Each structure stands twice: as C-alpha cells, then as structure tokens.
Structure 1
C-alpha cells in the first residue's frame, strides 16, 4: 500500500560540511516484496528538475535510481564497491561508489538510512561523502 511521506536527503563531503546539500520533498513510500520503495520528484533546488528518484531499500543495501533529465542507478552495499554511469544533460560520467558504512533503519512506519562512502567521478579526486535519507509518513 502506497503511503504519502516527507523525504529528506542530506549529503555532504566530509571535512567540508558547509557544502551540505539538503532536500525536503513530498513523496511516496510503500512496502515491496523484499523491502521498501521510496519515490519522489527532484526539484529545481536539487539541480535535477525533471528527474524522478526511486530508492529501493533492502535489509543490507539500497539502490538509488534516477530517471529523466539525470539518469543513474547507484548501488550502496556495506564494504562493497560498485560502478555505474551518471547521465546528465552535459554528458555521461562513470561513478565508482565504495560504501564504507551503511545503516538501514526502515520499517512500515518510515525511518532513516545513513551511508558513508567514497565517491569517484570520472577520474576526479575521491570524495568521502555522508548521505542521510529520512522517510517520515504523513
């Protein structure tokens, strides 16, 4: 059953907390066969207006999928390195995500995901990033 929720997404590069990117947006939250699914529309504030974000949450991992003006499928699993493509209106880049810490505390009532990961984009210097996703049911 789909429920209305308020989704908060906070992301920042460690040692650069003033670079915090925070988004609070309405979305949908529902239980699926092997976990939960969160869906919301990106806004102009996030820089990805015209993009739908879907988060598939399982016990020990989650996928962040974007479709629209920006497209990617990023997988986060504790102590696991993944590679994906990140397609923007400006071109395509490869992303390498090395998840160092992952805590998933989500139930039918909502909850929180926290992840610390090393992000490498197209050969640029690696960024140690903190991500927190909150789901609060309306």
Structure 2
C-alpha cells in the first residue's frame, strides 16, 4: 500500500569543512514483502532535477537507485565494498562504496536510515560520508 511521506536526506562529507547537504521532499512510502520502498523526485536544490530516486530498504541493507538525468544503483551493506557506475549529464563515473556503519530503523510509519561510508570516485581522494535518510509518513 502506498503512503505519502516527507523524506529528509542529510549528507555530510566528514572532512575539515564538514560539507553538509540537506534536502526535504515529498514522496511515497511502500511496505513490501521483504522490506520497504521509498520514491521521490529530485529537485533543483539537489542538483539532480529530472531524476527519480528509489530506495529499497531491507533488514540489513538498502539500495539507492536513481533514474533520469542521473542514473546509478548504489548498494549499502554493513562492512561491504560495492562498485557502481554513476551516470551524469557530464559523463560516467566509477564509484566505490565501502559501508563502515549501517543502522536501519524503519517500520510501517517510517523511520530512519543512518550510514557512514567511504566514497571513492575514480582516482580522487576518498571521502568519509555520513548519510541520514528520515521518512515521516503523513
């Protein structure tokens, strides 16, 4: 069953400057047989206008899928390294994700995902990133 929800996504790069991006957007929340699903449209603020984001949430992992102007499928599972392609209007990036901490607390009325991971893009310096996704069902 589809429920309306408010999704808050806070992403912080943990370096000297502690770069923080916060987006609050309406979306849809679904209960599935093996977990939950969240869908929302990215906005101009996120820099991905024209992209639909889907988050598939399971007990011990989640996938962040983007389709549209930006395309990717990022997988997060505690103490696991994953690799994905990140397609943008400016080119394709090779992205490595090393999930160091993952806490999923989602129920029928929403909840929170909190993860800390190391993000490597190509040959650039690895970024220690903290991502919090808060889902409030209306």
Query: Common fold, TM-score beyond 0.5?
Result: yes
TM-superposed CA distance for 1:17, in Å, is 5.5
CA spacing shift, 1:17–1:37, aligned 2, 3 Å = farther
Query: SS of the counterpart of 2:45?
Result: helix
In the alignment, does 2:109 pair up with 1:126? no
Please give the alpha-carbon distance, in whole angstroms, between the structure 2 residues aligned to 1:93 and 1:10.
22
In the alignment, does 2:7 pair up with 1:15? no
What are the within-5 Å matches in structure 2 for residues 65-84 of structure 1?
65-84=65-84
TM-superposed CA distance for 1:83, in Å, is 0.1
Name whichever structure is richer in helix by fraction.
Answer: 1
Query: SS of the counterpart of 1:82?
Result: strand
CA distances 1:64-85 after superposition (whole Å, capped 9, x unpaired): 0000000000000000000000
Please give the alpha-carbon distance, in whole angstroms, between the structure 1 residues aligned to 2:128 and 2:9.
17
Question: TM-score, normalising length from structure 1?
Answer: 0.98
Please give the alpha-carbon distance, in whole angstroms, between the structure 1 residues aligned to 2:16 and 2:32.
36
- Residue range with higher mean Cα deviation, 13-22 or 56-65: 13-22
What are the within-5 Å matches in structure 2 for residues 1-138 of structure 1?
1-16=1-16, 18-138=18-138
Please give the alpha-carbon distance, in whole angstroms, between the structure 2 residues aligned to 1:3 and 1:16.
39
Please give the alpha-carbon distance, in whole angstroms, between the structure 1 residues aligned to 2:18 and 2:128.
14
TM-superposed CA distance for 1:18, in Å, is 4.5
TM-superposed CA distance for 1:108, in Å, is 0.3
Aligned length: 138
CA distances 1:70-127 after superposition (whole Å, capped 9, x unpaired): 0000000000000000000000001000000000000001000000000001121100
Query: SS of the counterpart of 1:92?
Result: strand
Question: TM-score, normalising length from structure 2?
Answer: 0.98
